[in-house]
């Protein structure tokens, strides 16, 4: 009796355990199956409902326009498209190939560049080098007048003439006794002054290898679509130019810096102008493409000053730079004058030296290069084709 009772209890406990296990397994399987009333289905239904309504609202007028337009509106639209062919709005031409269109567009951006930069360097200091400061400030005034903004001009200047105690006219720098035009002015922006004008800083500026802390105003932020005008003046000799009577930059240094600029895509075309004794020797070592160069004097020649002022007691400007500035004075932003016109205007009898020119590295004929490609700014404009306006004014531009 006791044994039988024990067997029954054991069997009952086993059955209960089996039933419990089955129920638990069933509940687990049931809980993993999503139902229509689950939160995920509710969120999905809330998203699909407005999307369906929006799609219906967009497609309905296209599928059943009669439900949304009156008969008069339908007649107006039909009459408009029947009377005006598609060619009036979209002009297809087989006579003008795509290459011609691209060429005309590239010609609109003069010389293939999109921005101009000027780096103007006076490598001298001290009062008796007044003329070199006037040279640089004269170039600064010219490029600024022709449209290059201060943000694209890097001016390196000793800046010790305007407020020099020997200056009878404090705060002024003139280039001519006949024309008392103040080149210093109130709106001049000198980026590198005094001892900042050094060989190292110039090379770092050109190659873009400046410290991270250098402000934007002291950086040449040019690119592969930039035309760069590099002007230098001071005391020089055969393949060298002195910096503030302390150090020298050589023709090789200049050539290597320009090559780094080309390799780093820091210019599209570069124009190098230098006014110093034996200036033409400074560009003989250049080997980079798209470089145009000119200088004030040949090897063994001096670059002479022009116009002494008895009130100041110094020469006011150099002959070569004075000649170039006088020639540029009659030009404006819209001039068609070319670099060839500038070079052909050189008069050795007036300059009293033999200006030089190097064009073998340049990719274009100088007769096709406007002076404003280097001395002027590039207008940022968008070219738009003429569109058909109201009836009777076909071909005229549409003005808003």
User: Residue 268 carries which DSSP code?
Assistant: S
Q: Return the pLDDT at 182.
A: 82
pLDDT 10s digits, 348-387: 999 999 999 999 999 899 999 999 999 998 865 544 555 5
* CA dist., res. 122 & res. 65, Å (int): 74
What sign has the CA pseudo-torsion 125, 128, 132, 133? Answer: positive
Exposure string of 212-229, with b = 16+ CB inside 10 Å and e = fewer, is eeeeeebebebeebbbbb
Strands (E), 251-313: 269-275, 291-295, 305-309
Question: Given the structure tokens 């090559």, which residue do they identify?
Answer: 259
* 105 Cα distance to chain centroid: 18
Q: Which residue has the higher pLDDT, 386 or 277?
A: 277
* CA dist., res. 271 & res. 259, Å (int): 14
3-state secondary structure of 243: strand
* CA dist., res. 40 & res. 42, Å (int): 5
Q: Which residue has the higher pLDDT, 36 or 288?
A: 288
How far is CA 143 from each of CA 109, 114, 182, 224, 229, rounded to the nearest angstrom? 19, 16, 16, 21, 10
Confidence band for 111, pLDDT divided at 50, 70 and 90: low
Q: Which residue has the higher pLDDT, 259 or 245?
A: 259
Q: Which residue has the higher pLDDT, 193 or 1?
A: 193
Q: Is the pLDDT of residue 71 over 60?
A: yes
Q: Return the pLDDT at 18.
A: 46
Q: Return the pLDDT at 310.
A: 84
The pLDDT of 217-241, averaged and rounded, is: 96
* CA dist., res. 121 & res. 214, Å (int): 18
Predicted TM-score (pTM) of this structure: 0.69
Domains of the chain, CATH where assigned: 36-83 (no CATH), 116-375 (3.40.50.1460)
Average pLDDT, the chain: 81
Q: Return the pLDDT at 312.
A: 87
Q: Where are the alpha helices (DSSP H) in the chain?
A: 2-31, 39-63, 71-83, 98-108, 130-145, 199-207, 251-263, 319-329, 339-344, 348-351, 372-375
199 near 236, Cβ under 8 Å? no
Positions marked active-site: 235, 277
The pLDDT of 86-112, averaged and rounded, is: 44
Most confident of 25-34, 47-56, 301-310: 301-310
For 211, phi then psi, to 5°, come to: -60, 155
How many helices and strands in the chain, by DSSP H and E?
11, 12
Q: Which of 59-68, 331-340, 391-400 has the lowest mean pLDDT?
A: 391-400
The pLDDT of 32-44, averaged and rounded, is: 66
pLDDT 10s digits, 323-358: 999 999 989 999 999 999 999 999 999 999 999 999
Pairing verdict, β 236-237 and 226-233: unpaired
Which conformational region is residue 112 in: left (phi greater than 0), alpha (psi within -120 to 50 degrees), or beta?
Answer: left
Q: Is the pLDDT of residue 225 over 60?
A: yes
Q: Which residue has the higher pLDDT, 203 or 99?
A: 203
pLDDT 10s digits, 134-190: 999 999 999 999 999 999 999 999 988 888 888 888 888 878 777 677 888 778 999
Q: Return the pLDDT at 396.
A: 45
Q: Which residue has the higher pLDDT, 285 or 306?
A: 285
* CA dist., res. 126 & res. 166, Å (int): 11
Task: Extract the tokens encoding 220.
Answer: 């040449």
The pLDDT of 41-45, averaged and rounded, is: 78
Q: Return the pLDDT at 398.
A: 35
Q: Return the pLDDT at 82.
A: 65
* CA dist., res. 313 & res. 319, Å (int): 17
Q: Return the pLDDT at 84.
A: 53
What is the chain's percent helix, strand, coil content, to nearest 5? 45, 15, 40
């Amino acid at each position: 009796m006791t044994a039988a009772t024990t067997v029954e209890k054991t069997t009952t406990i086993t059955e209960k355990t089996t039933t419990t296990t089955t129920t638990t397994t069933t509940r687990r399987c049931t809980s993993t199956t999503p139902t229509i009333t689950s939160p995920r289905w509710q969120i999905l239904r809330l998203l699909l409902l407005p999307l369906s309504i929006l799609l219906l609202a967009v497609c309905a007028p296209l599928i059943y326009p009669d439900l949304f337009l009156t008969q008069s509106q339908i007649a107006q639209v039909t009459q408009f498209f029947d009377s005006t062919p598609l060619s009036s709005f979209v002009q297809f031409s087989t006579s003008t190939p795509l290459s011609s269109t691209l060429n005309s567009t590239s010609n609109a951006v003069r010389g293939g560049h999109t921005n101009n930069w000027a780096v103007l360097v006076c490598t001298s200091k001290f009062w008796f080098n007044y003329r070199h400061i006037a040279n640089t400030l004269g170039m600064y005034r010219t490029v600024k007048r022709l449209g290059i903004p201060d943000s694209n001009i890097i001016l390196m200047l000793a800046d010790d003439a305007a407020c020099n105690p020997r200056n009878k006219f404090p705060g002024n720098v003139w280039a001519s006794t006949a024309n008392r035009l103040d080149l210093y002015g109130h709106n001049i922006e000198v980026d590198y002054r005094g001892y900042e004008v050094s060989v190292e800083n110039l090379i770092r500026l050109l190659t873009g290898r400046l410290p991270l802390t250098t402000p934007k105003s002291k950086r040449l932020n040019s690119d592969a679509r930039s035309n760069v005008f590099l002007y230098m003046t001071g005391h020089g000799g055969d393949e060298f130019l002195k910096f503030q009577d302390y150090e020298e930059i050589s023709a090789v240094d200049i050539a290597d810096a320009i090559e780094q600029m080309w390799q780093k895509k820091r210019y599209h075309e570069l124009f190098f102008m230098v006014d110093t004794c034996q200036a033409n020797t400074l560009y003989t070592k250049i080997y980079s493409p798209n470089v145009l160069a000119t200088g004030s004097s040949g090897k063994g020649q001096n670059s002479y000053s022009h116009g002494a002022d008895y009130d100041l007691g110094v020469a006011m400007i150099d002959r070569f730079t004075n000649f170039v500035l006088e020639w540029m004075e009659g030009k404006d932003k819209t001039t068609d004058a070319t670099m060839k016109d500038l070079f052909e205007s050189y008069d050795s009898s007036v300059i009293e030296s033999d200006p030089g020119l190097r064009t073998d590295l340049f990719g274009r004929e100088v007769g096709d290069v406007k002076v404003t490609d280097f001395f002027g700014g590039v207008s940022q404009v968008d070219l738009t084709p003429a569109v058909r306006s109201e009836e009777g004014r076909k071909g005229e531009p549409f003005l808003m």
